[in-house]
């Protein structure tokens, strides 16, 4: 990673207009594989209308199959900072295999800050010290590949990388960023054989670059490199949450940092920082299969953390569906640390194919929190009970908060034991500043993980003002339905677009008083009674206020009565997880809806 922000200056956020080029990723991957034949559409992809659409979706699915769950691997920064070379990376590669981490699903070996000191040849190509990297960077990438793993590399969006501005264990290295060489550098990375590239923001911040513009240019450069080499690269945006990357990075990258570093050079692991990074990554509407909020690398197994803290940290990342990039020394880790990093049941929560991020569903008393993550399968939830207080506390997971009904079975993932079957909920005492990770299986709605077929270009119907008729509400532009994130019934849960699946969190009932009700007692609500463009749309206990009144119009728009603005899919988004907001009515397709 490098520093990604140890007290660095951060420019004010910029507001810019922008497109949402999700088809670019399909083009990149189609070009990469150069498939000349049509293969069978994989399970989990809905059939598209028409042979041409089916062909395109089939090729894309084959290419993206390797990045449909959060990336898992190891990165060099947390333990070694910039003091890395061929032998350091080789030893960690070997340890990933011998420790069983590869078998558990870890696959990326990521070379972070310090591999390059900013030198280039007369043609502008990156050069490295061959005393440290015998055979150059291609040789280490080849070695990583020889072990059945994937190779990652690092650069900066600016002219100078983090090693120029901050201590790294090496002398300051000027010109160690890629600005002015985007096409050249990313093509070189791809030709060397790298599968993953992390792009930091130290130079970008110092130079006042616009994050969205810069990372779009980088994503485009990767497109062009992949078209030449046939090697797709995971793009990891590392701009520390500047300009809210969760709002724009999903269209151009696999993962995006949401905060500063979890650990800085020369420091020990800190639970305060773990919790702060976890909190900063809570953007569930942005997350979907292949696109992930990144709270930073793991500090599991590093100095300063107990086994209980390691389990709590791992559980927080798993419930978030976050990328899992270990940062400890794999060659010297204890058996206890290895067991935590390779717990198959915990990893399965993180890697669940639905790609959902867990959300807070209850906090009966301050600091005693319940998080729920919808898992694939019928009525399955991962549940994290987090005690942020300084004393042990009993915390209850209620089935109603999880969107479940009837008796449900509970399993503790760290002890690997079944707790039993319970009616209504389950209570456990959680030690101070720790968490308990469970799975709960009962009766309840489970959303689909599959992309829907191509949306229709025009509505077949418009919203009906008839009260009392329950139905889904589908976006005309997206072909996806109004959906309460994570099947949550908690006040404040974000409303988003998601594949229409007929479940309870997509069933809306208009009332004679102008409400749109879900779950019977919750109403579609403009958050805080706001009236400005961009105000989020959530659910809340029905209360009769104007911010819960909606007018269903004959042209397919839905007007928020209190704000006199239209229900809107943010930034013309069409993907799963697109936030639903209000915006000045403009007649565009992302403001038109049909009841189905």
For residue range 247-278, list pLDDT tens digits in order: 999 999 999 999 999 998 889 999 999 999 99
Q: Virtual CA dihedral for 279, 281, 286, 292, nearest 10 degrees?
A: -140
Check pLDDT > 50 for residue 3: no
Please give the average per-residue pLDDT across 571-585, as a whole number.
92
Supply the pLDDT for residue 468: 57
Supply the pLDDT for residue 444: 63
pLDDT: is 268 or 10 the higher one?
Answer: 268
Supply the pLDDT for residue 29: 43
Specify whether the CB–CB gap between 200 and 154 falls below 8 A. Answer: yes
Specify whether the CB–CB gap between 382 and 437 falls below 8 A. Answer: yes
Check pLDDT > 90 for residue 45: no
Supply the pLDDT for residue 100: 98
Structural class in CATH, domain 359-444: mainly beta
Query: What beta strand segments (E) does 165-242 contain?
Result: 196-200, 234-237
Check pLDDT > 90 for residue 42: no
pLDDT: is 56 or 168 the higher one?
Answer: 168
CATH 2.60.40.1180 segments of the chain: 359-444
Q: Kindly report, residue by residue over 504-521, the tens digit of the pLDDT.
A: 899 999 988 889 999 888
Check pLDDT > 90 for residue 419: yes
Q: Which residue has the tokens 């006040």?
A: 491
Tell me if residue 361 falls in helix, strand or coil: strand
Which contiguous run of DSSP H or E holds residue 522?
strand 522-526
Q: Kindly report, residue by residue over 304-347, the tens digit of the pLDDT.
A: 999 999 999 999 999 999 999 999 999 999 999 999 999 999 99
Residue among 73, 184, 72 nearest 121 (CA): 184
From 261, 294, 296, 499, active-site residue: 261
For the chain, the first-to-last Cα distance in angstroms comes to 46
Q: CATH number for 69-350: choose from 1.10.472.50, 3.40.140.10, 3.20.20.70, 3.90.800.10.
A: 3.20.20.70
Specify whether the CB–CB gap between 520 and 486 falls below 8 A. Answer: no
Please give the average per-residue pLDDT across 480-486, as a whole number.
93
* Confidence tier at 596 by pLDDT (50, 70, 90): confident
Residue 448: how many other CB atoms lie within 10 Å: 17
Q: Kindly report, residue by residue over 109-151, the tens digit of the pLDDT.
A: 999 999 999 999 999 999 999 999 999 999 999 999 999 999 9
Q: How many residues comprise the chain?
A: 596
Radius of gyration of the chain (CA): 24
Kindly provide the b/e burial profile for residues 186-197, where b requires at least 16 CB atoms within 10 angstroms of the residue's own CB.
bbbbbebbbbbb
Supply the pLDDT for residue 265: 85
Worst-scoring range by mean pLDDT, 154-158, 409-413, 502-506?
502-506
Q: Is 352 a catalytic residue?
A: no
Q: Kindly report, residue by residue over 185-243, the tens digit of the pLDDT.
A: 999 999 999 999 999 999 999 999 999 999 999 999 999 999 999 999 999 999 999 99
CATH 3.20.20.70 segments of the chain: 69-350
Tokens (6 digits) for 157: 């969006």
Q: Which residue has the tokens 């935590």?
A: 340
Check pLDDT > 50 for residue 486: yes
pTM over 0.75: no
Q: In angstroms, rounded to a whole number, what is the distance separating the alpha carbons of residues 353 and 449?
A: 7
Worst-scoring range by mean pLDDT, 92-96, 101-105, 267-271?
267-271
pLDDT, mean over the chain: 86
Structural class in CATH, domain 473-595: mainly beta
Q: Is 261 a catalytic residue?
A: yes
From 112, 200, 223, 350, active-site residue: 200
Please give the average per-residue pLDDT across 50-61, as a whole number.
30
- Give just the sign of the alpha carbon dihedral 257, 274, 338, 342: negative
What's 126's DSSP letter? B
């Amino acid at each position: 990673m490098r520093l990604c922000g140890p007290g660095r200056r951060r420019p004010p956020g910029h507001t810019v207009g922008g497109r949402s080029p999700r088809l670019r990723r399909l083009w990149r991957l189609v070009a990469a594989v150069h498939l000349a034949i049509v293969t069978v559409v994989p399970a989990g992809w809905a059939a598209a209308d028409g042979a041409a659409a089916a062909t395109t979706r089939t090729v894309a699915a084959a290419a993206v199959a390797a990045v449909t769950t959060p990336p898992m691997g190891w990165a060099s920064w947390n333990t070694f900072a910039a003091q890395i070379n061929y032998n350091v990376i080789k030893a960690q590669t070997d340890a990933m295999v011998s420790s069983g981490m590869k078998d558990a699903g870890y696959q990326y070996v990521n070379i972070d800050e310090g591999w390059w000191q900013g030198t280039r040849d007369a043609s502008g190509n990156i050069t490295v010290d061959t005393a440290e990297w015998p055979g150059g960077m291609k040789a280490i990438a080849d070695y990583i590949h020889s072990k059945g793993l994937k190779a990652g590399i690092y650069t900066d969006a600016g002219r100078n990388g983090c090693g120029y501005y901050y201590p790294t264990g090496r002398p300051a290295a000027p010109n160690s960023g890629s600005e002015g060489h985007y096409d050249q550098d990313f093509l070189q990375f791809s030709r060397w054989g790298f599968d993953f590239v992390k792009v930091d923001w130290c130079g970008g911040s110092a130079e006042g670059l616009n994050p969205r513009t810069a990372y779009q240019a980088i994503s485009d450069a990767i497109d062009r490199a992949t078209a030449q080499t046939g090697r797709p690269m995971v793009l990891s945006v590392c701009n520390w949450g500047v300009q809210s990357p969760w709002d724009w990075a999903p269209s151009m990258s696999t993962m995006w940092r949401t905060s500063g570093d979890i650990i800085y050079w020369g420091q020990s692991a800190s639970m305060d920082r773990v919790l702060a990074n976890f909190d900063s990554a809570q953007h569930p509407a942005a997350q979907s299969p292949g696109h992930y909020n990144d709270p930073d690398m793991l500090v599991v197994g590093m100095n300063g953390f107990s086994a209980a803290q390691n389990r709590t940290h791992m559980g927080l990342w798993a419930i978030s569906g976050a990328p899992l990039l270990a940062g400890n020394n794999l060659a010297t880790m204890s058996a206890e640390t290895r067991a935590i990093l390779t717990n198959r049941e915990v990893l399965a929560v993180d890697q669940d194919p639905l790609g959902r991020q867990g959300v807070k569903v209850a906090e009966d008393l301050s600091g005693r929190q319940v998080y729920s993550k919808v898992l694939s399968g019928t009525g399955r939830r991962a549940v994290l009970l987090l005690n942020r207080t300084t004393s042990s506390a009993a915390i209850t997971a209620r089935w109603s908060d999880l969107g479940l009904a009837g008796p449900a079975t509970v399993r503790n993932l760290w002890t690997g034991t079944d707790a039993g079957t319970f009616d209504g909920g389950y209570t456990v005492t959680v030690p101070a500043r720790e968490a308990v990770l469970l799975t709960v299986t009962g009766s309840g709605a489970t959303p689909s993980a599959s992309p829907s077929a191509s949306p229709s270009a025009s509505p077949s119907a418009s919203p009906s003002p008839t009260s009392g008729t329950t139905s889904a509400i589908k976006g005309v532009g997206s072909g996806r339905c109004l959906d309460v994130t994570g099947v949550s019934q908690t006040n404040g849960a974000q409303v988003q677009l998601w594949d229409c699946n007929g479940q309870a969190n997509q069933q809306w009932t208009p009332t004679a008083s102008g409400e749109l009700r879900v779950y019977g007692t919750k109403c579609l609500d403009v958050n805080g009674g706001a009236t400005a463009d961009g105000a989020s749309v959530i659910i809340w206990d029905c209360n009769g206020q104007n911010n819960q009144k909606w007018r269903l119009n004959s042209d397919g728009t839905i007007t928020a009565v209190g704000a006199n603005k239209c229900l809107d899919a943010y930034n013309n988004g069409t993907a799963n997880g697109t936030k639903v907001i209000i915006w000045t009515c403009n007649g565009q397709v992302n403001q038109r809806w049909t009841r189905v």
